[in-house]
Structure 1
Amino acid sequence: MNKPWNVVVLVGLAMGLGAAGGYWFAGQRGTDPSLAIVASAPEGSKERKALYWYDPMYPQQKFDKPGKSPFMDMQLVPQYASGAEDAAALSIDPGVTQNLGLRLGVVTRGVLDSTLDVTGVVTFNERDVAVVQARANGFVERVYARAPGDVLPVNAPLADMLVPDWAAAQTEFLALKAQGDADLLAAARQRLRLTGMPATLIAQVERSGQVQPYQTLTSPIGGVLQELNLRAGMTLATGQTLARINGLSRVWLVVAVPESEAGSIMPGQTVEARLPAFPGKTLTGKVSTILPETNPDSRTLRVRVELPNPDGQLRPGLTAQVRLHHPGEPSVLWVPSEAVIRTGRRALVMLAQGSGKYRPVEVQLGQESDGKTAIVQGLEEGQKVVASGQFLLDSEASLKGIVAPAQDAPPLGTSKPLHEADGQIVDISDNAVTLAHGPFNTLGMPGMTMTFPIANPGVVNNLKAGDQVRIAVSQTDDGLVVERLEKRGNQP
């Protein structure tokens, strides 16, 4: 009968010891500076005045007096003020910064070049094509060992052709030469040219004094033999196509660019290409042509890049990783992209203020490239931001009710920041304009076609659909508004 009572006593003692041990462990953990971010004020401090009270589970809401949280079944927590900075900043013991893995980046001013990584395929340069045709009626006497796909040097022989009409004209030319009449000889020489006889063959006849009825057809350029329509014994007619050769001295790299990036591509843009066939080798070229049609299946725009191919190693069909470079604005502020915290509604960074203090700051972002993000508003050159470990600080700031203030609108009488891009007018009215525009880099907005309201009717004066324009927009609470449209040069 005593055993159950003994068991109850033992269980009670174990629970009491466990609770006491838990409180002791929690107290030890709270005093270890390597495990916690320093609180803004010790609990129960009578020397410090509470700025406000808040619910740790809903820190955005602040209360002016203590009490029970309307959100959770718990008491509100006071936020103390130990100085002006403590109310809006986190304090971290410098001794634990390394343990938290904090790494800082500097707000830098400089050129931020944008790059775009895409894929491409090497193809023939269709501007470097030579066609061999019969210049007169004749017969194929001999065909050299050639086949489509062969890579030929310049002046490579293709076939020997007999042209009876040339034999008669050459005989007459040699007879006039023997007479020594210069005028008649010049007229006979011109007749040879009109029959389609090459200048080299005329010179050979004049030099040797013998009739040369045979012509050796050769490749006018070096390259790939794409087509060969020659067989021994064939009868040839004037103008008949006999062979087609595609040069390899320069090749095209056809690149597929997403339509959202199409507005940032311009002829003459620098390109770097790396081919898996030649590891470690980087080829440089320039955008030569932007094709007018978009692929309806992949929603990509085809761009041609011309690459030099002096050694002939680049063969059609090879794939390449392509990087397109686009020069950015000459002077912009930028931070490492990893320092930016994107919440969905706005972008934040954790600003390092020195002496172990950090506070969240809202920023407006521009373009992003190569691990760098442009800052349009919110920071100054030389400031330091947290580039690693910032999410831990942001979480702690939220728990303490420290919220980054929203960016203020420009004061009255000051100019609004404008964001610019190039585009074309699709449709136009007195109060709105539809534009097919390129990317607004300072907004991080890709190119697209959309309708904008205009600031005033004077913006669209003397403009019409189809005009190429430079666009300047401002950002308002209701969206983007067109402030200026400037017609670009070289237009009718």
Structure 2
Amino acid sequence: MNAMNPPTTSSRRTAVAIAVILVLGAAGAFAILRGTEPAATKPDSHAHAGAEKSGGKSEHQHEDKPEGQHAHGKEQAHDDHGDEPQGEHSHEGGAHAANEPQQDLLKLDAAAAKTAGVTLATTGPAAIGSTLQLPGEIRFNEDKTAHVVPRVAGVAESVAANLGQMVKKGQLLATLTSPAVSEQRSELMAAQKRLALARTTYQREKQLWQEKISAEQDYLQAQQVLREAEIAAANAQQKLAAIGAGAGSAGALNRFELRAPFDGVIVEKHLSVGEAVQDSTAVFTISDLRSVWAEMKVSAPDLPFVRVGEKAVVHATAFESKATGVVAYVGALIGQETRTAPARITLDNPEGIWRPGLFVNVDLTASSQQAAVAVATAAIQKIEGDKPVVFVPVEGGFKAQSVKLGKADARNTEVLQGLSAGQSYVAGGSFVLKSELGKATAEHVH
């Protein structure tokens, strides 16, 4: 009975609600499936070609044409290059960079290079020395400097030489009056008189002995007196010679002449007319300035590199001048206070440029090492701040080759990386090439 009864109103409402829900769910599922279909599925290239050939297209295809073309371009590129889209991008970037001018390449023909003064050389082995620079000062050459003393006490009667004057050997410097010289000359004169008398007596006694008139003893005694007189006269003469005085004249026994011992310049003078001096007073200082010393102080770590006979270059600090000499002396002891050893270099000074008291810098070659690959130091330039380069010739111009440098001196520099032995490079005119490269780079940037 219940199954045959018609459904109630409540049951019909429930059924209608369920039906509406099912319809809405089906519609939503259909919409979801339709919206995700283009992203989920790839269009068939053959179907796409067929559609274009037939000329038929739906309204949806017409509206999505730009997106379809873009997607098709991507998919075609993906099909052509596989799974390497980044490789394609890199290739395009490399091609673009290849079309741009290289920053380190300078186009310059042979005529322009010659005009710029560019000269080429070849890399190869070279001996590279490290230079040691020490401060120094010009001094008198003590071997050619004399402190002139009168060697006798006296009073200056006249002074013939002045400070700074050039004098020759034996030239009169001053005249003194000295009692000591007078006594020695008197002694010499007396010795000479006694010698003359002894010689006469000897001759007479010798003749008498030969004639058998006098005894032999008288003859021998006269001979002894003669020998003693000769010794006394020679001694008096040597005393005068030791002080630089001659026999003089009878009317000027006390006059003493002070003369220059060698050619030189009077660099000090401590004598004036009427001044009394002692026998040890240095009244003049004469130095031969044609030769001077460059003295320096060498610290203990640098002593192994400063050797006698080593060549050195002396540079003046006050003006542009240099001279070459050799190390003449290196001290054997280190000073307790300074902890340095003295050393000196003998310099020829014919024009008098190197004046005592002048400060100088002394360059010495500390050591020398062999480099397998070296270039001229003047060939090295720096670009981009402090990047060392050497210009090398290439087809159509020159290239700034980056290099890694090693030991260096004023002439050669070792190349550790960047160049090989026997390779051609720009030895002269590299600075001009650097300037031209900078101009080309600036123009490219702008």
Please give the TM-score of this superposition, normalised by the length of structure 1.
Answer: 0.45
Instruction: Please tell me whether Structure 1 or Structure 2 has the larger radius of gyration of its CA atoms.
Output: 2
The structure with more strand, counted as a fraction of residues:
1
Higher relative contact order (CA 8 A, sep 6+): 2
The structure with more helix, counted as a fraction of residues:
2
Please give the TM-score of this superposition, normalised by the length of structure 2.
Answer: 0.49
